[in-house]
Structure 1
Amino acid sequence: MIEPAYPAKPSPGDRVAIVSPAAGLPELYPLPYELGLRRLTEDFGLVPVEYPTTRKMGTSPQERAADLHAAFADPEIKAVIASIGGSDQITVIPHLDAELIRANPKPFFGYSDNTNLLDFLWRQGIVGFHGGGVMTQYGRPGAMDPMSESSIRAALFTSGPYELTEPARITEVNRDWADPATFDAEPATEPATGWSWHRADRVVEGRSWGGCLDIVAWLMMADRIAPPETYEGCVLFLETSEELMSADEVYFTLRCMGERGLLRRFPALLMGRAMAWSFQKPLGPAERERHRAEQRAAVLRALAEYAPDTMAVFDVDLGHTEPQQIVPYGGVVRVDGPARRVTVHY
């Protein structure tokens, strides 16, 4: 296994690739996409470059792989940013030219279905960045969330330590991207409940691996992950998507990681605050809290059975959360239990 290395960062004025390796959803929802591009240009000083499949639904895995090859191979492109996630990026990975991408390492930003590509980059020795989607974080109605923006700026432009912090308020209920009125104001927020710690009696520092648990399950089923010993001493980070995995599904997936001899390799786990609302499952406040509590219990059950010494931090704002803080995929993460601090290295 190649030790992941951080690729060079872009600077304001640089060209960055905007790609849709999971799904061309900008075609269906142009409002958050165009807003995200505008903020990348006006607020971040970058020059977005689109590719043939960026805003086109129904493209083939080979076509999306070709866009990634073009983005990584172009010396004028200094970073690659996903427009959004999707559901079939796993079919793109076999078409990627690993040698080409290893020879042209660049920061890649994305999450959700982009866990597939982040894991691929990890296996090529390239640190990626879990988070920072064009339509979701840059294209947030009204304004970017300040905590999300701060983390994205640090991950995009700087190197070194960055402390993840607990937000005062969070957003759980979204509005229709097809309605222009959605973008007239920021989404409603509600008080955050904070993080909770399990076995916080030590300090763990290691390379990170994980991502969206829905996709990690697929990676195991497709036999895309490395041998379990590869992850020894790494910091695991996981989160769940708008599919709202049930507590049973969470437990069963972690159980499979345990049976594979994988779960116990991680001395620390960062568990993202569970997404608990979607348009398909518009849960009320009490139901949302119940959903999160049941997921936490499922994780603790799996840890008790397969990784009893692993330290865990629950409800961290990463992945499908708002605000969202960037986690370097393959980068260094320090989890300080006694001090109740989590520091990532961008």
Structure 2
Amino acid sequence: MIYPPKPRPGDKVAVLSASAGLPGILPLPFEAGLRALREEFELVPVEFPATRVMGAGARRRADDVNAAFADPSIKAIVASIGGDDQITVTPHLDDAVILANPKPFFGYSDNTNLLVHLWNLGLVAYHGGSVMCQFGRCGGMHPVSADSLRAAMFTSGPYALPQAFSYSDVDLPWDDPASFATAPPEQPCEGWFWHNPGTVVEGRTWGGNLEILSWLLMADRGIQAPAAYDGMVLVIETSEELPSAEEVFRILRNMGERGLLARFPAVLVGRAKAWSLNRRTSPEEKAAYARDQRAAVLKALREYAPAAMAVFDVDLGHTDPQVVIPYGGQVRVDGVARSVTVTY
């Protein structure tokens, strides 16, 4: 795996929508994210043609990705947000162009498609950090997210992931300017939950959003033979669509039946998002949802990877704050010291 060269303050970075063109209909978080890139990160964001076009075709969005990689003045690529159909975009990517011009890519959720594609090309990318969510967060960037993103964007070397003891998964409406005057409400939480600690696992990462992984498995898109994942660390998280515990277990069960789960000696599980604008759960319902999610993952691991070590409630997914995981990069999961260290 190759770590592409990092940008420096003052460099140009591509901002594009390889999934949904939500910047076109929800400009407030997008503009806030562009300001954060310019003012806090001292980068020069460059929008590509389909960035604000909702419903742009797959080939048009792929053209933006190819052009961003091909442009020598662009030093990194940051996804505007996720979506649900990036699986239709990746067949149109120009792998020769990407390999000839490797550069860091940041994104998560539906961008799991691109992360898997780049992994298969041997390029390390970055799971996390979208313009509208982390950079354009209501009330300004979360300090934890900003620190992780800054380290991943500009530096190379080890980075100890922090544990959060308060978080938010409550979304403020993006079409209301008042939402951007205050940060989302946070609630207290416990630190990481460890399953089968006592060992140390070092390996490359693979995984992403669990729902997207299930689609890739169904489409037989970009998934290698099980042996390709031997010794790697599986990273999984779930989205704002709030999949049921039964669905989470079934996806992992199918990965187990395919022979995948047994290949991973360690698993990092993102803190489950348990509230959305379409499903405004009570505190009691949120707690029950999170418990059921953990139980579903543990059930699958007991059946298909009983020796695997797992760390739950790592802030790597759809909750706030969010830490960046180098996708295909090195990670050390130390169950003895109860620490997780990634290499940016």
Q: Scaled by the length of structure 2, what TM-score is found?
A: 0.99
Q: Would you say 1:81 and 2:78 are equivalent positions?
A: yes
Question: In structure 2, the residue corresponding to 1:58 is in which secondary structure?
Answer: coil
> C-alpha displacement at 1:252, in angstroms?
0.2
Matches within 5 A, 1:46-65: 46-65=43-62
Residue 315 of structure 1 aligns with which residue?
313
2:322 corresponding residue in structure 1: 324
State the aligned residue count: 343
Compute the displacement of 1:190 (Å). 1.0
Deviation at 1:103, TM superposition (A): 1.1
RMSD: 0.6
Distance in 2 separating the partners of 1:86 and 1:217: 15
Is 1:43 aligned to 2:40, yes or no?
A: yes
Confirm whether residue 158 of structure 1 aligns to residue 137 of structure 2: no
**d(CA) in 1 for partners of 2:169, 2:230:** 34
Q: Find the partner of 1:200 among 197, 200, 205.
A: 197
Query: Out of 114, 119, 136, which is 1:117 matched to?
Result: 114
2:40 paired with 1:34: no
Structure 2 counterpart SS, 1:252: helix
The alignment partner of 1:172 has SS state of coil
Question: C-alpha offsets along residues 209-230 of structure 1, whole Å, 9 cap, x if unaligned?
Answer: 0000010101111112111100
Structure 1 match to 2:269: 271
Q: CA deviation at 1:168?
A: 2.4
- 1-side partners of 2:245 and 2:312: how far apart? 14
TM-score when normalising by structure 1: 0.98
Structure 1 residue ranges without an equivalent (≥5): none
What per-residue deviation string (whole Å, max 9, x for no partner) do you get for residues 296-338 of structure 1?
A: 0010110011000100000110021100000000000100001
Q: CA deviation at 1:186?
A: 1.2
Write the distance in 2 (CA, Å) between the matches of 1:289 and 1:283: 10
The aligned residue for residue 237 of structure 2 is 239
Gaps of 5+ in 2: none
Structure 2 distance, partners of 1:219, 1:109, is 19
Amino acid at match of 2:258: R
Question: What secondary structure, in the 3-state scheme, does the structure 2 residue paired with 1:18 have?
Answer: strand
Structure 1 stretches of 4+ moved >6 Å: none
Taking only the aligned residue pairs, the percentage that are identical comes to: 61
Match of 2:209 in 1: 212
Report the secondary structure of 1:256's partner residue: helix
Give how far 1:280 is off: 1.1
Match of 2:340 in 1: 342
- 2:254 is aligned to 256
CA distance in 1, matches of 2:192, 2:275: 19
Whole-angstrom distance in 2 between the partners of 1:175 and 1:114: 22
